[in-house]
Amino acid sequence: MLLHFSKMHGLGNDFMVVDGINQPVYLNKAQIARLSHRNFGIGFDQLLLIEPPQHPAADFHFRIFNADGSEAGHCGNGARCVAKYVRQRGLSWKKELSLSTNTAMMQALLEDSGLITINMGAPRFEPEQIPLRYAQKSTNYGLEAAGIRYQVGALSMGNPHCVIKVDNLETFNVEKVGQAMSEHSYFPQQANVGFMQIVDREHIKLRVYERGVGETLACGTGACAAMVVSRLNQLTEKKVKVTLPGGNLWIEWHGQSNQDQNNVSMTGSAKWVYEGQIEL
């Protein structure tokens, strides 16, 4: 089978984007893992498969597969790339799109500036919704990883997220602690682990270890999760610039506690790299 695809990225979080509307696509976990290989395949953090809408309120549905072939529920950087893809490929001429994934429904606004704003929906704090093996909801949880006990924030933004505040991102061992915390027994579906450094009340720095991938240059849902955790701990304002290794995202959330159901919005870029085809 000859598969047509596009390579795109959001702040260096890179994707293989596949149109599953105009071509038949049948990919198994092993095939996706081979395609993700950066030496022997195309190379990507996630594969995005665009499909016809599965919900009456959605314009498109898309599925997210990690580099190891496992499936994720949500992807903020991926949502921006999908919105740009369907517009540039003429699949839709709308400036406002409704996109669904397996766990979320979101609105995408293609702004005249070229940036794309995504309504990411409301964070979920109940332990069973994250999921997190903890009896009661809390702002912070005590979890041990790599021999050290950390106070972490945990929530779902369509994917399970764990956020740890650190003093110095440059010297922190993101790979070691990130993998240990991601695979912690308290996270039955594993977790994306964000390491957050507060610069000031309107600016944070972030590095993210993503489950099934490792550290990436950017994680949109991770940026949302980190901003929400910073707000819960009264460390930042309602709108924050989040600086990731790949660039900046602007996250806005008007909630103040884990009782609030306010939606999170994310603004950032999406870039087209190239188009190609590969024989499977």
pLDDT one-digit tens code per residue, 4-35:
999 999 999 999 999 999 999 999 999 999 99
User: What is the reported pLDDT for 1?
Assistant: 84
Q: Which two structure tokens, joined as six digits, stand for 115?
A: 């940036």
Whether the upstream peptide bond of residue 127 has omega within 30° of 0, thus cis, is no
- Looking at the annotation, which residues are catalytic? 75, 219
Below-50 pLDDT ranges, the chain: none
C-alpha distances (whole Å) from 48 to each of 32, 51, 81, 208 are 11, 10, 9, 19
| Domain annotation for the chain: domains and CATH numbers | 2-121+269-279 (3.10.310.10), 127-262 (3.10.310.10)
| Non-local CB neighbours of 235 within 8 Å, separated by 6+ positions | 165, 198, 201
- Integer Cα distance of 179 and 215 in angstroms: 9
Question: 151-165 pLDDT, tens per residue?
Answer: 999 999 999 999 999
Q: Which two structure tokens, joined as six digits, stand for 60?
A: 């498109």
In this structure, are residues 45 and 216 in contact, taking their beta carbons and an 8 Å threshold? yes
What residues form DSSP beta bridges with 276?
5
Share of the chain above pLDDT 70, in %: 100
pTM exceeds 0.95 for this model: no
